[in-house]
Each structure stands twice: as C-alpha cells, then as structure tokens.
C-alpha cells in the first residue's frame, strides 16, 4: 500500500502539479523519506502554502499545509475560534487521554485558566528552579563525571531524556524515579513515548479507516503503540504505588494544572500529558543544541566566555546562550508541525479557500527554512540573528517563530523550558567538552516530535581534570 499526496491548483491559477510528500508503505517497511525536509522544499517552491488532497482506495481528506506567517497569525490568533484541534486530533493522540492538551472550546478555556493560575505562581517557579538545579548537581553531573572518567561513549539524547524525565516526574507527582542511575540502559518509558509519537505521526498521514484497520489487526506502528501504552500505564502505576507507600493522597494532590475531577484516571491522563509536554520536547531541543554547537565551535566558545564572566546560575544574563537555544528551536523545533481543523469555511490571508473540516497543517519546521521569512542564510546556525545591536534578545513575532505555539494556546511552560535548557546547557558547556563521534548520522525521525533517529553518540571530557 502506497499513499501519494498531490497539490491542487493554487489560488493563482497554476496548473495541477503532482508532489510526492511521502510514502507510507506496508509492503516496503524499510523505505525512508525525510518528510519534514521534503515538506520544507515543497512549501519553498509553492509560496509557503499548498492544498494537499490525499487519495487512496479507502478515503480522501481535505488538507492544507502552510508556513506563511500571515496564515499562521490568522489560524492561531485572529480567527482562533474557527480552528480547534478537533476530534481527530484527540483520537490520534488518544494515549494522552482527556486533558488540557487535547481539549477545545469551553472545556479548554476552563482547564487553561486552572493551569495558568498554578504554573504562573511565583512559588511554582521558585520550587522548579530548585528542583532543576538539584537534579543537575545530584543526578546529571555524577553521570557526566563517570562517563568522562571511564572514557565512555554515551547517547546524549538518551541522557537528556532521562534527565528531563526525572524533573517531569518530580514536578507532576513529587516522585523521582532516578532514571539517570541506569545511564547504560535505554529508558523504557522514554522509548514508549517515542513509539507513541511515531504512531501518532503515521495516523495523521494515513487514511482514518486504514490506521484503524492496523489497530484492529495489531500490526505496524499500531502494534508498537499498543505495547507503548501498556508500558506507560505500567510505569505510571509503579510510580504511583511507590508514592502511595509514602501516604500520597492523589485527591488532595489534584491541584489546578490537573483539572478539577479527582479521579485516578484523570490523574494518569494529566500526569502523562505533562511529562510528554516536558520531557520529549525539552530533551529534543537539548540534543539538537549540542549537535549544533559541536558543529560550530565558535558558538560554543562564545557561550563558554559568557558563562565565565557571569556564572551558570545567572541564567537571565546568558544572552548568547539564549540566542543559541532560540536558533536551535528555529531550525529543529521539537514539534515540527501543528494541526488544526476548520470548524467553518474560511479564506486565509494568502487567498486560499478553506472548506469546513479541512485539516490545516502549520509546518513549523519548514517555516524556519523559508528564505522569505528568515533570509538567504535561513539554513545556517547563526545565534547572532537573535541579538540586537544593544546586546539584548531580539523579539520575533510569535507567528514567525512557533516553537512554543502561538496565540491563546501558546505554551504555558515556555519559561520553565528555558530554565531547564539553559541550566543544563550552561553546566555542561562550562565544565565539559562534548565530542560528537565522527560521521555520526544526525537524522530526524518521522514523528510528531523531532527526535534523532540514531541518538547522538558522543564522548565527554571534564575540562578541569
């Protein structure tokens, strides 16, 4: 089974043009196409917006893909009410349950208010800052030191996933699984989340009835998703059991970000969603950040000089580090696409007509590679583009830089994410030299999260020994 994608006639009257966006194959499961890169090429050639018609012997779908900032602002902000995530999004991400991340309309407004009250409270920020630094000093640094002393090769992606996972568990239920204590083994929970992301991405590409058939037959990505779901539930139950042994009262703990209904399932859904939003995204950015810095030694030197003049703890003063992380987010956004469904017919600023129930895909990854948006050097890793002539961080419009979404649904955890990333990156760069293995393939997975397909293998050397 091969599914082809076609671009329809554009609003300017251009003739139909066949565009191969991707191949999903049952007969050839090892066939690989870098869909996000292909999408960027197509959008660059088609003025940043294309209609896609998905034809198969089963069903069709109305899809529009865009990386046009004007369209993004329209969908994510100006006409926000017309573009919910939709029921299909919730079905594609059913493993997360019913949470703020999948809610729409009045349900979303209610959950959002509760979450904002908690996550914006100064006590939460103070507590999380302490947790982040504690996990760096007592969890991450000992592992880095051991790897350095024994001259081991380590997968940085796996290391960052475990590091952020521990922080996310502490943040969500106050329990530390100490995932970093097994640095030589892959973390099953993290692997399960990766399988969830790949399966969800495949669901978005496949006809609805086809992936449901796969689920019923228990084959392909749906088979991996089933096992991933079981792993996630088992790990959650184990963590809660250990908390229960300490007298953990989940009804009393059911504070605002986890909604208003104190049920065990409700807690499970919200905890898993919170961990997913924290761990997968932040660890992905850290992985691509160290890959980028390793490829651009001048950037690493500037960050190191900046830290030596201040200190790793004074995160707000580390301007070049912040800029380098923003540049990483531009080129390698953890969420390469956003998806919304048109509740009613509409016309985008680009002139494209949207029919009701059209799936509008915002190509976040592609937007960072648009010459018309970022200039001719858009493919270069250049932190300087984020710094003003006065040495301050340049403010880029949200509809041009979508790493944390935009509009009413902009990420509430943005500041916490930067705290985790800057604290981790500053500590490592100040104290260690990272050497990526020569010729290591830095390829992204076809997934809803921009993971590295082969991890990021590296050696770590202590700078002070």
Task: Report pLDDT digits (tens) over 228-254.
Answer: 999 999 999 998 888 766 554 444 444
Count of CB atoms situated within 10 Å of the CB of 324: 28
Whose structure tokens read 């993971």?
Answer: 451
Per-residue pLDDT at 167 exceeds 70:
yes
CA–CA distance, 334 with 57 (Å, rounded to integer): 33
Enumerate the β-bridge partners of residue 462: 432
pLDDT of residue 19: 38
Whose structure tokens read 């139950």?
Answer: 237
Count of CB atoms situated within 10 Å of the CB of 397: 10
pLDDT of residue 87: 87
- pLDDT-derived band at 57, boundaries 50, 70, 90: very low
Helices 319-331 & 281-295, crossing angle to 10 degrees? 110
Element (H, E) at 258: none
Per-residue pLDDT at 324 exceeds 90:
yes
Do 370 and 43 touch, CB atoms closer than 8 A?
yes
- pLDDT-derived band at 184, boundaries 50, 70, 90: low
**Which DSSP symbol is given to 25?**
B
Query: Which tens digit of pLDDT belongs to each residue from 268-315?
Result: 888 999 999 999 889 999 999 999 999 999 999 999 999 999 888 899
pLDDT of residue 157: 95
What lies within 8 Å, CB to CB, of 89 at 6+ separation is 102, 339, 341
- Across all residues in the chain, what is the average pLDDT? 85
Overall average pLDDT of the 254-274 stretch: 69
**Domains of the chain: which residue ranges?**
4-462
Question: For the CA atoms of 248, 250, 254, 260, what is the dihedral angle to 10 degrees?
Answer: -170
CA–CA distance, 72 with 193 (Å, rounded to integer): 28
**Residue (of 291, 289, 309) closest to 418 by Cα position:** 289
Among the residue ranges 169-173, 296-300, 329-333, 423-427, the one predicted with the least confidence is 169-173
pLDDT of residue 437: 95
What is the CATH T-level fold of the domain 4-462, as seen in this structure? Cytochrome p450 (1.10.630)
Which carries the bigger pLDDT value, residue 132 or residue 246? 132
Query: Which tens digit of pLDDT belongs to each residue from 89-117?
Result: 888 899 888 888 888 888 888 888 888 88
Q: Supply the pTM of this predicted model.
A: 0.90
Per-residue pLDDT at 260 exceeds 70:
no
**Residue (of 285, 342, 308) closest to 104 by Cα position:** 342
Query: What tokens appear for 320 in the block?
Result: 């070049």
Per-residue pLDDT at 257 exceeds 70:
no
Overall average pLDDT of the 256-279 stretch: 76
Overall average pLDDT of the 4-30 stretch: 39
pLDDT of residue 74: 97
Per-residue pLDDT at 1 exceeds 60:
no
SS3 49: strand
What lies within 8 Å, CB to CB, of 42 at 6+ separation is 7, 19, 21, 50, 65
Per-residue pLDDT at 393 exceeds 50:
yes
């Amino acid at each position: 089974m091969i599914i082809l994608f076609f671009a329809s006639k554009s609003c300017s009257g251009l003739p139909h043009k066949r565009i191969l966006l991707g191949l999903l194959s049952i007969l050839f499961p090892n066939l690989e196409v870098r869909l996000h890169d292909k999408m960027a090429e197509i959008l660059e050639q088609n003025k940043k917006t294309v209609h896609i018609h998905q034809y198969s012997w089963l069903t069709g779908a109305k899809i529009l893909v865009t990386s046009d900032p004007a369209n993004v602002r329209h969908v994510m902000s100006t006409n926000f009410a017309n573009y919910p995530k939709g029921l299909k999004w919730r079905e594609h991400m059913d493993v997360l349950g019913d949470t703020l991340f999948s809610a729409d309309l009045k349900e979303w407004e209610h959950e959002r208010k509760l979450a904002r009250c908690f996550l914006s409270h100064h006590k939460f920020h103070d507590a999380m800052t302490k947790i982040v630094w504690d996990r760096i000093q007592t969890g991450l640094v000992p592992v880095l030191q051991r790897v350095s002393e024994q001259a081991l090769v380590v997968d940085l992606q796996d290391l960052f996933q475990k590091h952020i996972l521990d922080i996310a568990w502490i943040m969500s239920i106050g329990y530390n699984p100490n995932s970093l204590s097994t640095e030589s083994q892959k973390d099953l929970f993290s692997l399960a989340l990766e399988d969830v992301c790949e399966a969800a991405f495949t669901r978005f590409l496949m006809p609805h009835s086809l992936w449901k058939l796969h689920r019923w037959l228990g084959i392909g990505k749906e088979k991996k998703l089933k096992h991933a779901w079981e792993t996630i539930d088992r790990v959650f139950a184990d963590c809660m059991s250990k908390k229960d042994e300490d007298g953990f009262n989940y009804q009393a703990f059911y504070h605002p970000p986890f909604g208003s209904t104190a049920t065990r399932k409700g807690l499970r859904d919200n905890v898993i969603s919170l961990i997913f939003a924290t761990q997968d995204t932040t660890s992905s950015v850290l992985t691509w950040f160290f890959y980028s810095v390793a490829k651009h030694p001048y950037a690493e030197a500037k960050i190191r000089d900046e830290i030596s003049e201040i200190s790793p703890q004074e995160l707000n003063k580390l301007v070049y580090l912040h800029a380098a992380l923003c540049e990483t987010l531009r080129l390698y956004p953890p969420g390469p696409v956003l998806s919304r469904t048109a509740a009613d017919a509409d016309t985008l600023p680009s002139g494209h007509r949207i029919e009701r129930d059209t799936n509008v895909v915002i190509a976040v990854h592609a937007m960072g590679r648009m010459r018309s948006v970022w200039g001719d050097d858009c493919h270069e890793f250049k932190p300087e583009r984020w710094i003003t002539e006065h040495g301050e961080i340049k403010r880029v419009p949200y509809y041009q830089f979508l790493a944390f979404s935009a509009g009413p649904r902009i990420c509430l955890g943005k500041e916490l994410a930067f705290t985790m990333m800057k604290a981790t990156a500053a500590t490592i760069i100040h104290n260690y030299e990272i050497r990526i293995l020569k010729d290591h393939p830095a390829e992204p997975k076809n997934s809803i999260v921009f993971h590295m397909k082969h991890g990021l293998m590296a050696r770590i050397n202590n700078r002070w020994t």
